[in-house]
Amino acid sequence: MLETALYIVCGIYLVEYLVFAFGIRRALAGTPKLLEEFPKISIIVAARNEEANIEACLEALLRQDYPVDRCQVIAVNDESDDDTLTVMNRVADRWGGRIRVITTTAESSGIVGKAKAIAQGVDSASGEIILLTDADCIPPTTWASATVGRFSDSVDVVAGFTLVRSSKLFHRLQQLDWLHLQAIAAASMSFNSPVGVVGNNLAFRKSTYEAIGGYRNVRFSMTEDFALFLAMYRRGVGVAYACDDVSCVETQPCADLQTVLRQKHRWGRGGMESTPHGYSILVVAFLMLCALCIAPFTSPLIWGIVWGTKFIADLILLLPVLRELKAVNSLTSFVLFQFYFLAQALVVPLMIVNPNVHWKGRVFTARSVK
């Protein structure tokens, strides 16, 4: 009976990932169009205590291959306690005012945290299309034009991949983890059933944002980017998930295990507001986790089948993404990644019980940010 149950779980997991793999190939098949006209865009980066990263990010944004007169860069100081604002102003001065620097102010709408910073950035935006990234990210010079090239009469929101820089083993494990989650998100999006986006590589029409009332009309979430995306998606707008190296941004890895767990805690709490499809993916993942934990107490054959299924399914999903993003060298850590992923899957659900999420010097609760 137990063996049959394990075989069924393996079968469900493998079929699900084969469907994901088909979805990823659909995502890879799409390419950004070459722009003949360049709509006005506004790039917004909200930064809190990012004095070590914000300069490199802003320099990368200012070197986009998008026409200078059609590209506005807005840097939002999100109540930083360090010299983030000083660095922003220094870069703005060096580039002759090509950056608009603002600092968040109090408001009566009740909006808090990063959502407030982005909302006030959008208030200052003159672009038809808004592009969001984070202060610890470095977009390639092609990022803006490639992202805008994904918009069409039927696409109003575009998400893209984020690649964790991987100079060490711990960083490569984070890179594979991020790409695994984003591959599932991109595959699901190709079937018009989104389950997640990464807010450090997200773009939308300003008119779409305004039509939903913006962040001020979106219920508070630990993952404010996905909450905003869902609000726009539920209005029936067209969405796309770009999977290519020209629109992929690089981000800094978490420095230590504690930061990784805090990041996962925040994502996990935000994921509690997922879509039905998202919940179904979590159920299959939970069943596979149970199978992986039970398998060692069965026969070596069953143990091998369960783990082999996990390895093969994940590899089928990840390999085309790694090739496209030129990150195939991370496969040297693929076996260790399986155990890294399993350890997280065992720990994070226990952390999610705690409603208080610590991130960037703030404490997020179910209703607010302190």
Q: Are strands 41-47 and 162-164 parallel, antiparallel or unpaired?
A: unpaired
| Strand ranges of the sheet holding 99-103, from the earlier edge strand across to the other edge | 99-103, 71-77, 41-47, 129-134, 202-205, 157-160, 239-242
Phi (first) and psi of residue 134, to 5 degrees:
-110, 160
Tell me: the pLDDT tens digits for 285-329? 889 989 998 988 888 899 999 999 999 999 999 999 999 999 999
Outline where DSSP puts E strands in 57-156: 71-77, 99-103, 129-134, 137-138
Residue with the larger pLDDT of the pair 356 and 94: 94
User: Are the C-beta atoms of 53 and 135 separated by less than 8 Å?
Assistant: yes
Helix (H, G, I), strand (E, B) or coil at 370: coil
**Does the structure show a pLDDT above 60 at 366?**
no
**Does the structure show a pLDDT above 60 at 123?**
yes
User: In this predicted structure, what is the pLDDT of residue 363?
Assistant: 65
Tell me: the pLDDT tens digits for 170-208? 999 999 999 999 999 999 999 988 888 988 999 999 999
User: In this predicted structure, what is the pLDDT of residue 277?
Assistant: 76
CA distance 14 to 4: 15
User: In this predicted structure, what is the pLDDT of residue 233?
Assistant: 92
CA distance 196 to 189: 9
Residue with the larger pLDDT of the pair 222 and 216: 216
Please, what are the domains in the chain?
2-25+263-358 (no CATH), 30-255 (3.90.550.10)
Tell me the pLDDT band of 370, cut-offs 50, 70 and 90: very low
The percentage of the chain sitting over the pLDDT mark of 90, rounded to a whole number, equals 64
Query: Cα 246 to the chain's mean position, in Å?
Result: 16
Closest CA to 200 of 259, 240, 160, 147: 160
User: Are the C-beta atoms of 99 and 58 separated by less than 8 Å?
Assistant: yes
Q: pTM of the full predicted structure? A: 0.92
The percentage of the chain sitting over the pLDDT mark of 70, rounded to a whole number, equals 92
Amino acid in position 253: P
Give the single-character DSSP code of 248. Answer: P
Average pLDDT score over residue span 258-276: 74
